[in-house]
Amino acid sequence: MKTVIIDYGSGNVESVFNALLLVKNKNHEITISNNPAEIKSANSLILPGVGAFADCINGLKSVSGLAEEVRKQVITEKKPFLGICVGMQVLASIGYEDGEHKGLSFISGKVEKIIASENLKVPHMGWNELIIKEVKHPVLQNIKTGDHVYFANSYFFRCQNQNNELAHAEYGSQISAIIAKDNIFGVQFHPEKSAEVGLTLLKNFLNWRP
């Protein structure tokens, strides 16, 4: 088995890589690559992301054939896919950070800014509680409402179909924390910074066979 962390210049790939090394079994290969041939040979894919929505989309498109191969492997070949933070947000149809930008449209929805107020600082930074819907998803095994995970976001994913939202966090309003559709799974928080809960989720993802 091989999982490829997609390196496109906008992700904290090393910290995700190191977290995966802690939970993988000895026969599971973890690699970091932006080579479309490596993407094609993977059994599963992870897209980390930090920074702005448009930068992440442009980073994917800047490597010849990368965005096209990712789409083929995720949408056509149905390989397990995990998007992290902005790597989750770019799954949307459109994002409104610094203008209007088309996303990958893997899960219908839009990415909007969290509205700051006197009592609500933006970005949403630090630990927050997961509120999980009554869904039995394999990647959520041994993860429950009340578990705390680490967020760092100024924007949030608003799903067009609420059935795609598996969990949220409260931050002024409900912020999508976990989304999923078929072989695609996304988390707004950083599992690699979320202690045992994050490591549990990463291990579950490596073992997921949708």
The burial class, CB within 10 Å (0-12 / 13-18 / 19+), for 132 is: middle
Which pLDDT score is estimated for 45?
99
Q: How confident is the model over 69-110, as pLDDT tens digits?
A: 999 999 999 999 999 999 999 999 999 998 899 999 999 999
The residue written with tokens 């995700």 in the block is: 16
Higher pLDDT, 11 or 63: 63
Of the ranges 18-22, 113-117, 174-178, which one carries the lowest mean pLDDT score?
113-117
Label residue 119 by pLDDT band (50, 70, 90).
confident
pLDDT confidence of 28, banded at 50, 70, 90?
A: very high
Distance, CA of 173 to CA of 29 (rounded, Å): 39
Query: With 0-12 CB in 10 A as exposed, 13-18 as middle and 19+ as buried, what is 161?
Result: exposed
pLDDT in tens, 11-24: 789 999 999 999 99
Count of alpha carbons within 13 Å of 138, Cβ hemisphere only?
13
pLDDT at 135 over 80: no
Question: pLDDT grade, residue 8 (50/70/90)?
Answer: confident
Average pLDDT value for residue range 186-197:
98
H-assigned helices in the chain: 13-23, 36-41, 53-62, 66-71, 86-89, 195-207
- Quickly state the pLDDT bin for 10 (edges 50, 70, 90): confident
Residue owning tokens 């809960």: 197
Above 80 in pLDDT, residue 134? no
Output the pLDDT for position 165. 98
Per-residue confidence (pLDDT) for residue 152, from 0 to 100: 93
Q: Please give the pLDDT value at position 49.
A: 87
Q: Supply the pLDDT for residue 51.
A: 84
- Rounded CA-CA distance 99/152 in Å is 20
Per-residue pLDDT at 131: 98
**Mean pLDDT across the chain:** 95
Which active-site residues does the annotation give?
85, 190, 192
- What percent of the chain clears pLDDT 90, i.e. is strictly above it? 88
CA–CA dist 160, 91 (Å, integer): 12
**Mean pLDDT computed over 110-125:** 90
The long-range contacts involving 99-104, CB below 8 angstroms and separated by at least 24 positions, are 99/54, 101/53, 101/54, 101/57, 102/57, 103/53, 103/57, 104/57, 104/67, 104/70, 104/71
